[in-house]
Structure 1
Amino acid sequence: MDDKKIFKLLQRWYPALELKKIPKKKQRCIFQQFQAWLFAEEVTQHEPAYLMAVDAENPHENGLERCAVLQHSQIDISRTQQDIRQRTMPLYQHYEQHKQVIGKYYNVDAQVFDIVFEEIYELLKAHHFELLIIYAETAYWMAVPEDEVKIRKFCKAFAKQFKAEGICIEHYIKLDCLRST
């Protein structure tokens, strides 16, 4: 697959990328090339980015402070980071306390990732953005403008583009299911 669609859509969503040359045909289907293209410059810990990783070892390192969309919109992320910590710390504490009993049956990291993405989603939604999650060697996320049609086209083209590498994409939607108490 050598589709330019995902790159063209990204250029529309993120004007800073308009000046970037789209990768050559044979490079477009390599996820690493996609990542490199998204990074406008050499990325350091605090430079703005359009593709953020969530650290599997420490989900509190989730890229919120680097998100170019949030920085350009001057959105305060401190409350969201605080909410993530407040919701995840009891899970970690409970797991540590009862790990001998539930350890092999319970994946605390999966539940923490759910919380991290739910909080990021809530922040983005409040500012008219949507959340895309990319599952590669690690979990990545992107903030994109609300536009269901373009998001659907992007996700479909992305899935085709990187299918050979086993890279998946998801348009995150918060499920409001009943929780028993």
Structure 2
Amino acid sequence: MAGIEPGDIGKLAVCGDSAGGYLAAMTALYAARQGIRIDALGLFYPVVAPACETESWRTLGADHMLTRDWMRWAWASYLGDAGSLAADVDLLRADLASLPPTHIITAAFDPLRDEGEALGAAIRTSGGVVTMTRYEGMIHGFASLPMLTPMADRAITEMSRKLFVNNSVD
């Protein structure tokens, strides 16, 4: 975002999946503080908080592709010596009112499911605009697996329509 001046861009949507969803949300929050307008935010099964203590983490975080141990390692690697700043990186503790209209896609068999849905609820509570879809029967990362499931194409198409066809999430 370096070099982008407020007001010198057209429509801008930011989107990411998993850790990229976390980075997209943090980018949108940072942009708002800098006066840069982002028109829409798309999050596929986003990482939200370092605690890894939701019900979906407890029930799905040991035997599925994405494990609680791995995620805790990833958070520790991301935070480095700043581990005490975990509260500052927890999206559920952030001021979410400045987020643009947001669409969140979660997967039923994903340890991140509850985090993504909690983020959606927190955005709504903050007065933000959010829509959410849970894909039943799907696992973490399914949207990047179109060769394995037609649900991947459906999710990508849904997100594209939410972000681009409508020019913002409705």
The structure with the greater share of residues assigned to strand is 2
TM-score by length of 2: 0.31
TM-score by length of 1: 0.30
Select the structure of larger CA radius of gyration: 1
